Amino acid sequence: MTALLDIRGLTIDIARDGGPARVVDGIDLAIQQGESVGIVGESGCGKSLTMLSLVGLLPNRIRATGGSAMFGGRDLLKLGPKELRKVRGSEIGFIFQDPMTSLNPVIRVGDQIAEALIWQKGLAKEAAQARAVELLELVGIPGPAERARAWPHELSGGMRQRVMIAMGLAGHPRLLIADEPTTALDVTIQAQIVDLVRELKDKMQMAVVWITHDLALIAGLADRIAVLYAGTVVEDAPVSAIFERPTHPYTRGLLASLPTLAGAAMERLPSIGGTPPEPGRRPPGCPFAPRCAHAVAACAEAVPRLAPVPGSDPRHRVACPVMTERAAA
């Protein structure tokens, strides 16, 4: 089956005075039509940059330098600015993590959604404004016609995030990327936003990528989870396999650090010792080896590649020969 999005060997560099530093190093990731995929990892591991590179939204001095990203028969990394503008919104939608900085504070929210529709779909102004009200209603904003005339600062954080979701859905995309969409919200509003995106995914038959550092959040959302570390995918598996049979030492460390109801109230949660390598200073071999309790001499010699985990789900792959061998034993 042909994947909706197929990323192969993606590399991203940041320009520095002393030469380029690699921040994403050879990511392979495929997403199927209608699939929900969680991308998890520590801050700075390349989660957001990987997705931003697909539609030409990388920050200044950062650029994709290698690999491919096939989407609808086109390599997104080879499209020019004009072609990428057609992809953004109409085929790939984004929900950003901070709606207060993503929304223009001096334009009414309805006009911001309408502007996207005029650009993406070529609608006349009146038709675009009417559709903006429909989208606000779709994302559960009460009194959508009145809210469309509101300024961003007049809406609550949860309402602003719903406006961002409406903007992401305006072009009826085939792929929606939700980049930490609940970070600045309280727990109750987080749950509402998550349920909303899940409901809209099924209604619109989209694929959704959830970018997060929160494994607990993604547990009930994703069909599959890709775990990133230092700009590479170290484990890729169905969500059940990640939680029932985590294999990479980094994935195990992330799961061990999650609080549980069975844990003692004052018990200190375990943490992963050390820190991730800085961009451009990756160690030779496995980037996680300096922090790994299971590392052997060979781990410092060759960069591990994703390989199937013996005895697990056929889609379960891990970039750790040591743990793969133990699973086969």
Contact 229, 288 (CB under 8 A): yes
The answer, yes or no, to whether residue 112 has pLDDT greater than 60, is yes
Please give the full DSSP string across 244-277, using - where no structure is assigned: HS--SHHHHHHHHTS--TTS-TTPPPP---S-PP
Sheet holding 62-71, edge to edge: 21-31, 5-14, 62-71, 74-75
For residue 233, what pLDDT is reported? Answer: 96
Contact 48, 97 (CB under 8 A): no
- C-alpha–C-alpha distance, residues 186 and 278, integer Å: 32
Please give the full DSSP string across 233-244, using - where no structure is assigned: EEEEEEHHHHHH
For residue 282, what pLDDT is reported? Answer: 85
Q: Which two tokens stand for residue 299?
A: 């781990």
- C-alpha–C-alpha distance, residues 28 and 226, integer Å: 10
209 forms beta bridges with 37, 177
**Is residue 102 very low, low, confident or very high in pLDDT (cuts 50, 70, 90)?**
confident
**Is residue 53 very low, low, confident or very high in pLDDT (cuts 50, 70, 90)?**
very high
What does the pLDDT look like over 154-184, one tens digit per residue? 998 888 988 988 988 888 899 999 988 777 6
What does the pLDDT look like over 55-77, one tens digit per residue? 999 999 999 999 999 998 999 99
What number of residues does the chain have?
Answer: 329
The residues, ordered by sequence, that sit 6+ positions from 100 with a Cβ below 8 Å of its Cβ are 152, 153, 157, 160, 184
The structural domains of the chain, ordered by start, are 5-222 (3.40.50.300), 227-260+270-328 (no CATH)
The answer, yes or no, to whether residue 126 has pLDDT greater than 60, is yes
Contact 236, 224 (CB under 8 A): yes
Contact 74, 158 (CB under 8 A): no
